[in-house]
């Protein structure tokens, strides 16, 4: 039975109740507060790792990365030293916009990472940071019209040295995104998705300042941005009908991590990774450079906002002159293991999986066992939470494309660029718990709940009275059993990006720090 006439799903990239709860209660986001009083809401558990590309792919398919095929921002190419940017062509399973269109429903999609050009749906699709800029507005006839001709997927990173100006640029970008969404909203549609990326961009720079309630021009601009977001949601809510449903979701949460563990620097020191050019010098750097703050001070940061300002200032000053993990490039012929930044994973340089691999099957198993033992020792020491093989973290036909080993953080972040193996410098970064909210006829508030990111796709399908395929990993939050034997199927056929399109997307990811 169809529950909703229309469904609007709004995304805030990286949103967390740790911050939104404050803004809902202090009047910064009054619409959000009003919605919570009449909605189901709570934490939305993300993917492993909690990173934009795999998380949004999981949300749109209802499947873990072993089924969706997306594990990080990058896909291994022919060697351990070469990765290409993940695009919509790399999503192996059908997404809910595709399933809805196949059922005769009209969709509009604005800024859904891993779902943009060259995806093929009849409705309008406005692209994300993984979309080549010249194809960011589909269909093409919209490109010459206002406000679509001003649509951007990317902030002006040259303004980062001046954070108030950078935040204002993000506000301008998202204002245009809202104006485009507002135009599409007034067309004929059944399902619409709109995601605002600025929450993630702002929080990477200012999250600690925001949660500690510090005052500065940049913080004031950021708080203005959250007021903007609330006003956008208010505009949509005022125009939804009594039988329409609203959902609010994020792909992951945010936190301040009291330090980092850099897997590649550790692999370099242990001899599993060799650097191109000067491997000996690189190993020496990894062992010697350790800009840090005593742990007892880091622990106090969460309780004393003034200390946070002092330590973050020290980190920004120190990090400006250090070699970061993004500068570390492996020697393909001499490296046996390597970690993509922000992947939580370690990949072996295997002949079985890579054209330029160096490890045969027997050597691969030996190195895998050796590394597992060493990482287990790091877990016992408290540096990480645990280490698991990919098959114990993911399930599905694409587990073979996952990192061989997956590390889970305890306190420090993992695989974040840094000059030393371990440091105690606080960082703004992703966490596992994002947000969700469901608002519609018959919804009863149940207090703060916990759902999984895989639950959103089956929930959308159920709201439209469609069957939930049996192979999705999530469960509908509004009831309804899975359709026995029915499967979600593969994505709509789409071509890979050209080499030039890949280069443009890769440069954008690199400039954001996703190397």
Query: What does the pLDDT read at residue 314?
Result: 53
Distance CA 20, CA 485 (A): 40
Q: How many angstroms separate the Cα of 212 from the Cα of each of 19, 160, 324?
A: 10, 21, 27
Name the pairing type of β-strands 482-483 and 468-469: parallel
451: left (phi over 0), alpha (psi -120 to 50) or beta: beta
Three-class SS of residue 91? coil
Residues 59, 251: contact at Cβ < 8 Å?
A: yes
Which tokens in the block code for residue 450? 């916990």
**Which DSSP string corresponds to 209-234?**
HHHTT---HHHHHHHHHHHHHHHHHH
Distance CA 429, CA 52 (A): 12
Residues 265, 412: contact at Cβ < 8 Å?
A: no
Q: How many angstroms separate the Cα of 391 from the Cα of each of 196, 404, 406, 433?
A: 33, 9, 10, 23
CATH numbers and ranges of domains, the chain: 7-64+88-252+432-477 (3.40.720.10), 256-429 (no CATH)
Q: How many angstroms separate the Cα of 305 from the Cα of each of 108, 254, 321, 431?
A: 42, 17, 26, 21
Which tokens in the block code for residue 434? 């994002």
Measured in whole angstroms, the distance separating CA 330 from the mean position of its chain's CA atoms is 25
Residues 343, 390: contact at Cβ < 8 Å?
A: no
**Which DSSP string corresponds to 483-496?**
ETT----BPPP-PP
Distance CA 275, CA 252 (A): 33
Mean residue pLDDT across the chain: 88
Per-residue pLDDT of the chain (515 residues; tens, 9 = 90+): 899 999 999 999 999 999 999 999 999 999 999 999 999 999 999 999 999 999 999 999 999 999 999 999 988 888 887 888 888 889 999 999 999 999 999 999 999 999 987 666 889 999 999 888 888 999 999 999 999 999 999 999 999 999 999 999 999 999 999 999 999 999 999 999 999 999 999 999 999 999 999 999 999 999 999 999 999 999 999 999 999 999 999 999 999 999 999 999 999 999 999 988 654 444 433 333 333 444 344 444 444 555 545 555 554 444 433 333 345 778 999 999 999 878 899 999 999 989 999 999 999 999 999 999 999 999 999 999 999 999 999 999 999 999 999 999 999 999 766 668 998 888 899 999 999 999 999 898 888 999 999 999 999 999 999 999 999 999 999 987 777 666 776 666 566 778 787 777 878 777 776 66
pTM of the model: 0.89
Residues 90, 70: contact at Cβ < 8 Å?
A: yes
Name the pairing type of β-strands 107-110 and 125-126: parallel
pLDDT tens column, 440-480: 998 988 889 999 999 999 999 999 999 999 999 999 999 87
Q: Any idea what DSSP says for residue 353?
A: T
Rg of the chain taking only CA atoms, in angstroms: 22
Q: How many angstroms separate the Cα of 172 from the Cα of each of 38, 175, 212, 387?
A: 31, 5, 25, 42
Which tokens in the block code for residue 54? 């795999």
Which tokens in the block code for residue 396? 């599905």
Closest CA relative to residue 401, chosen from 84, 129, 149: 84
Q: How many angstroms separate the Cα of 88 from the Cα of each of 49, 93, 388, 474?
A: 19, 10, 28, 21
Residues 425, 257: contact at Cβ < 8 Å?
A: no
| Alpha helix positions (H), 212-304 | 217-239, 263-270, 279-288, 295-301
77 φ, ψ (degrees, to nearest 5) = -95, -125
The single residue listed with the structure tokens 């050209």 is 498
Query: What does the pLDDT read at residue 329?
Result: 79
Measured in whole angstroms, the distance separating CA 492 from the mean position of its chain's CA atoms is 23
Distance CA 247, CA 294 (A): 43
Name the pairing type of β-strands 253-261 and 413-414: parallel
pLDDT tens column, 29-38: 999 999 999 9
Which tokens in the block code for residue 288? 């010697």
Query: What length does the chain have?
Result: 515
Distance CA 448, CA 442 (A): 18
């Amino acid at each position: 039975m169809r529950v909703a006439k229309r469904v609007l799903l709004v995304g805030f990239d990286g949103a967390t109740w740790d911050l939104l709860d404050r803004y809902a209660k202090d009047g910064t986001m009054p619409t959000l507060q009003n919605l919570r009083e009449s909605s189901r809401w709570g934490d939305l558990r993300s993917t492993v790792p909690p990173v934009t590309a795999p998380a949004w792919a999981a949300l749109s398919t209802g499947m873990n990365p072993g089924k969706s095929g997306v594990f990080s921002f990058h896909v291994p190419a022919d060697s351990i030293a070469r990765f290409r940017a993940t695009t919509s062509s790399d999503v192996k399973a059908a997404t809910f916009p595709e399933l809805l269109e196949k059922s005769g429903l009209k969709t509009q999609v604005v800024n859904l990472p891993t779902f943009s050009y060259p995806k093929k749906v009849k409705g309008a699709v406005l692209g994300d940071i993984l979309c080549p800029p010249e194809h960011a507005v589909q269909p093409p006839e919209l490109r010459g019209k206002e406000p679509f001709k001003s649509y951007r997927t990317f902030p002006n990173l040259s303004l980062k040295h001046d954070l108030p100006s950078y935040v204002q640029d993000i506000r301008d970008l998202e204002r245009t995104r809202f104006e485009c969404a507002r135009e599409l909203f007034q067309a004929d549609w059944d399902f619409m998705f709109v995601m605002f990326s600025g929450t993630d961009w702002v929080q990477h720079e200012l999250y600690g300042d925001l949660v500690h309630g510090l005052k500065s021009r940049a913080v004031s601009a950021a708080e203005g941005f959250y007021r903007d977001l609330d006003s956008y949601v208010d505009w949509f809510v005022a125009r939804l009908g009594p039988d329409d449903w609203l959902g609010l979701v994020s792909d992951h949460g945010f936190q301040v991590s009291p330090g980092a563990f850099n897997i590649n620097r550790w692999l370099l020191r242990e001899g599993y990774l060799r650097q191109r050019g000067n491997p000996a010098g690189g190993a020496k750097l990894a062992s010697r450079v350790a800009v840090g703050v005593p742990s007892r001070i880091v622990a106090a940061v969460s309780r004393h906002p003034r200390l946070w300002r002092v330590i973050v200032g020290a980190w920004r000053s120190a990090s400006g002159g250090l070699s970061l993990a993004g500068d570390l490039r492996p020697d393909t012929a001499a490296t046996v293991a390597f970690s993509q930044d922000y992947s939580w994973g370690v990949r072996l340089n295997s002949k079985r999986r890579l054209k330029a691999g160096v490890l045969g099957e027997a050597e691969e198993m030996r190195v895998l066992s050796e590394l597992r033992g060493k990482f287990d020792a790091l877990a016992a020491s408290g540096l990480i939470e645990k280490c698991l093989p990919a098959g114990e973290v993911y399930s599905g036909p694409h587990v073979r494309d996952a990192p061989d080993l997956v590390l889970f953080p305890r306190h420090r972040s993992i695989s974040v660029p840094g000059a030393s193996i371990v440091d105690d410098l606080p960082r703004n970064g992703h966490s596992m718990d994002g947000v969700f909210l469901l608002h519609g006829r018959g919804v009863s508030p149940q207090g703060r709940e916990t759902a999984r990111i895989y639950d959103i796709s089956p929930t959308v399908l159920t709201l439209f009275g469609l069957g939930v395929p049996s192979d999705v990993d999530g469960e509908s939050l509004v009831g309804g059993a899975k359709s026995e034997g029915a499967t979600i199927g593969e994505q709509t056929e789409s071509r890979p990006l050209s080499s030039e399109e890949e280069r443009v997307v890769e440069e954008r990811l690199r400039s954001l720090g996703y190397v």
